[in-house]
A and B are shown apart, each in its own frame.
Chain A
Amino acid sequence: MADLRVSLAGVEFKNPVIPASGTYGYGREYEALYPLSKLGGISVKGTTLHERNGNIPPRIAETPMGMLNSVGLQNGGAEKFIKYELPNLVTKDTRIVANIAGSTIEECAELAGMLNDTAVDMVELNISCPNVKAGGAAFGTDCTVAGAVTKAVRDACSKPLMVKLSPNVTSITEIAKSVEANGADAVSLINTLLGMRIDIKTRRPVLHNNVGGLSGPAVFPVAVRMVWQTANAVKIPVCGMGGISTAEDAIEMMMAGASAVQVGAAIFRDPYAPVKIIDGMNEWCDRNGIKAIKDIVGTVKPW
């Protein structure tokens, strides 16, 4: 039995596996299968200041070894999250990562402030959603804006702050350095890659939003590369995600430099995926004489 505990921005997680925001709701749908206490934490559905109805369907398209989504941050708003979801989540004995998104810098700061006196363990600021018109990736693709929104949220937020980065940029390390300089305690990456599918019979894009975010095993090598580059460019910890489906993927991501990992689209295929990954990592450590999983972080030996 290896020690699977990891620390991310000063928060200790019992293991490094966290279902990614938008793929797990608030956990309610998966409790039918296993207790949520098995998970390191849960990054909850992206929360906005006010209720959002999301994008017009279809919102899902299958791709080779992955999928596109354009859900568009459908959620009940911050008040509802704090009043109805959080009281349920705090009883689950797992870390709560509150994923927040705003359409203006002021809105992001207000949202973060609302969480100060709650049981949330960490705030994950989403500056990378590809499916919304205002805010979202517009914040995460420009170093100056990414820095400014991070600073505003940092000033308003008393919780550990992780900033979720977009891969749809020329240099993710420059964005990461900018959010680090402006007070982020950690970065999480990658959000989805912008993609498109077309139905050749109707000549219509499969998604009503025309474009959407690509996730699943198809993006895994891109994610490993970006996590590796980012971990080498900043001093704050990196939470790695993008196409992780197996324990071996999670281990690879941690060797690339991730202190913890998030699992997303894999859950749609196998709802037990996070639990299987945790068990598989434990077995791998035992087989390989690794006493503590944190010892493998960033241990890749580049050529």
Chain B
Amino acid sequence: MYKQGLYPIIKKTASAKGIFDITVLCPEVAELAQAGQFAQLLAEGFFLRRPISICQIDNAAGTVRMVFEVRGNGTEALSRLNVGDNIDLIAPLGHGFTKREGRAVCIGGGIGVPPMLGIASGYGADAAVITGFRNAAAVILQEDFKAAGCETILCTDDGSAGIHGFVTTALEEYLKSNKTDSIYACGPMPMLRAVAAIAEREGIFCEVSLEQRMACGVGACLGCACRIMQDGKEVFKHVCKDGPVFNAREVIFDG
């Protein structure tokens, strides 16, 4: 079940260079949304919608928060929308993360960090959140994860904030001394591949959120194919409807 409509932006901040954080008042969407789902946003002047992950759902306030990076002209157009403007969105789409018993580690790389806030908040103090960014200027959402009660481990590629190094190194270190039942990840393909390999080796349940060029967003056009292993056979599933969240054991990482 999803909705399509024009909804007002009630809050907008620039959280880091080229990163925008918008909160949209859409009670009917907030009511349906689950952590890990996404929205298809219409950017003025562009033909296809932009798939943007849902960062936070506030059912009481009837709002959905999305944090996105300006990557091209379409997201640049979205970034020009201001508080009071209406945004045309289709949401919530896809299926999100599976909340389980026990303790979790949530791993986000760059603009893969925002979709982790919902699932991490679901675990609260039972989650550690390991995030990686290029540098200190690109760091986002650390206070939000802390406010949700999560332990945060920050990594940067250049060491200008937190640990100097990759999230995967921090994950291996964390797992040595912390019992973990579930791992959730979103970020670049090489990061996801490495996280999935660690989870497999340690025998830990792992879900990853994937990206692909998309058209309809609802499972009709079959454009956003991804390679999935099903019953010992490689098949093309679709990020918009079968995902964006998949069990890491099923994903054939090719990027």
Contacts and interface: CB of A to CB of B under 8 A. Distances in A.
Contact of B236 (A57, A265, A267, A268): A57
Given A29-B218, A58-B212, A269 B47 contact: yes
Interface stretch (A62-70, A113-121, A137-145, A166-174): A62-70
A59 B223 contact: yes
Interface in B193-220: 212-220
A272 B4 contact: yes
A25 interface: yes
Contacts of A268: 48-49, 215-217, 221
B1 interface: yes
B90 interface: yes
Interface in B205-255: 212-227, 235-236, 241
Nearest to B48: A62
B120 interface: no
Contacts of B74: 62
Contacts of A33: 4
A272 B215 CA distance: 15
A22 B236 contact: no
Contact of B222 (A62, A71, A265): A71
B11 to A, nearest CB: 26
Q: DSSP majority for the B interface?
A: loop
A216 B47 CA distance: 8
B215 A69 contact: yes
B9 interface: no
A217 interface: yes
Given A61-B213, A271-B4, A24 B220 contact: yes
Nearest to A271: B4
A76 to B, nearest CB: 11
A206 B212 CA distance: 12
A269 B48 contact: yes
A57 B210 CA distance: 13
B47 A69 contact: no
Given A29-B216, A29-B220, A267-B220, 14 more contacts: A25-B220, A25-B222, A29-B241, A32-B2, A53-B235, A53-B236, A63-B47, A67-B48, A71-B225, A216-B47, A269-B42, A271-B4, A271-B216, A271-B218
9 contacts: A30-B220, A54-B225, A57-B224, A59-B223, A60-B221, A67-B48, A206-B213, A271-B4, A271-B90
